[in-house]
Structures are given as structure tokens and as C-alpha cells.
Amino acid sequence: MKQVVERIKVLKIDEVAKDFGKTIRVGETEIALFHLKSGEFYAIENRCPHKGGVLVEGLISGQHVFCPMHDWKIDVTTGKVQEPDHGCVKTYQVEVKGDDVYILLS
């Protein structure tokens, strides 16, 4: 059975400065969309697995975001929390076409 993927246009590239994030809502789902210094976009669940900190409010360093509540370091490319802490957040596939940024939901 083929999986259905919903492609949702969420913003234009220039709507998020590099090394910043933006909260995206798709129905009941809240996603943190990050624009890295490299120019790439990554999307993850917008809540830290530790105490629910809002990740889009965290500082970005390279491909990591630091939770603003307790400084947990989360890799935005994989959703994994850096040791010695543990856990992960859901990741979402992002696609850039021209100036448009899309999130793909399955």
C-alpha cells in the first residue's frame, strides 16, 4: 500500500532569517521550522521531550537547538537529544522549491 504524503506550503525562504526558527501550525500539530546558517531548513516537533520547552525559542548552534528551559541539546536533523540527556522529538521532512518552503506530512 502506497503511503500518502501531504505537501504543505508553509512560508517563503526569506520569512525566516538564518539561525532562527518559526512556529508552524498544521491542524493540531505544532512544528518548529529552523533555517540553519548553511541555508538548509529542518522541522521538528516544537516541544522538548524533557519538560515540554518550546524549542523554536531556543538558541541554534550549527545543527542543534538548545531548549530554552533546561538547555537540552537537540539535533534538528535527527531529532535526537545529545547525551548525557536522552530522548528524541519527531522530525518532519522539509522541501524547498524556488522561494517556497514545504513541510511533508504522511
Taking the domain 6-105, which CATH number applies?
Answer: 2.102.10.10
Distance, in Å, from the CA atom of 91 to the CA atom of 61, rounded to the nearest integer, reads 18
- DSSP 3-state assignment of 100? strand
What proportion of the chain, given as a percentage, has pLDDT over 90? 85
The residue among 14, 34, 36 whose CA lies nearest residue 24 is 34
For 95, phi and psi rounded to 5 degrees?
Answer: -130, 135
Residue-range domain boundaries for the chain: 6-105
Hey, CA dihedral for 68, 39, 85, 91, is it positive or negative?
Answer: positive
pTM of the model as a whole: 0.92
Residue 80: pLDDT band (50, 70, 90) is: very high
Taking a C-beta distance cutoff of 8 angstroms, is the pair 71, 65 a contact?
A: no
